[in-house]
Amino acid sequence: MLMLKNNIADTIREKALWMRRRAFTMVFDAQLGHPGGDFSAIDIVATLYFGVMRYDPTKPDLAERDRFIMSKGHATGALYTALCAAGYYPEDWLTTYMQPNSRLNGHPNRNYLPGVETNTGPLGHGMPVALGIAIAGQITSSDYRTFVLTGDGELQEGSNWEAAMTAGHRRLGNLTLIVDRNRLQQGMGTEETNGLDPLDEKFRAFGWDVEIVDGHDIQALLDVLAAAPGGRSRPLCIIANTVKGKGVSFMENKASWHHGVPNAEQFETAMKELV
């Protein structure tokens, strides 16, 4: 069993590396995007799609599918590469990223792309939508799971806390929130802008179970995300400690790479590091 888990983790690492290289290429070609946030989230998204979630890319609206909502909708490089690698659409679609008439907008749109559960971009919207989806599953006694990924800066939006309070009250064991805790947002650190700590205690006070993990440790992510919700009577918040720009030395922990774009020299350096 341990060998099987390690093999899955290795596969996810390979997928995550491909996603980083492809996402950075998309941003370089378009000269638009949010690579810092893409790279802090990619290991989480890869683990969900290639080690945890139940879905069928040939049937995007399958009733039994698990649902994933990328609430930090600017991290399209992470989401689009995952959907492509999962088989929702061909790789050549990625070359159209942010081009005129492309399906791959700067923020995900479910009207254009299979596999996108809801349109996101304005921060603070994904969590309330995930709440509604989880409530629907609870009412209908469905066994699908609902996962939502938020940025930590995004938690400054009050709508998230209204949703968190309701989820705790309804004891939504089918709902998992992952917080991409890279501690940076556009311009500066989250704690300089509007402090979140102690974040774990806040969620526990709202009636959630809380796990804290290294958001780049694939095996740790697998262990906490793959746990079946059967018997869980409380929603789960996973605080994933991450590094903005993870994997590229000149991007790591730099707020400027929230929406920075590489020049040709930086692109070549990144490609040499992403091996």
Residue 235 maps to which CATH number?
Answer: 3.40.50.970
User: Helices 264-273 and 2-30: crossing angle, nearest 10°?
Assistant: 170
CB 150 within 8 A of CB 72: yes
In eight-state DSSP terms, residue 249 is T
Tens place of pLDDT per residue across the chain (275 aa): 333 456 999 999 999 999 999 999 999 999 999 999 999 999 999 999 999 999 999 999 999 999 999 999 999 999 999 999 999 999 999 999 999 999 999 999 999 999 999 999 989 999 999 999 999 999 999 999 999 999 999 999 999 999 999 999 999 999 999 999 999 998 889 998 899 999 999 999 999 999 999 999 999 999 999 876 666 899 999 999 999 999 999 999 999 999 999 999 999 999 999 99
The reported pTM is 0.96
Kind and range of the H or E element at 149?
Answer: strand 146-151
Residues spanned by the domain of 116 = 2-273
What is the total count of domains within the chain?
1
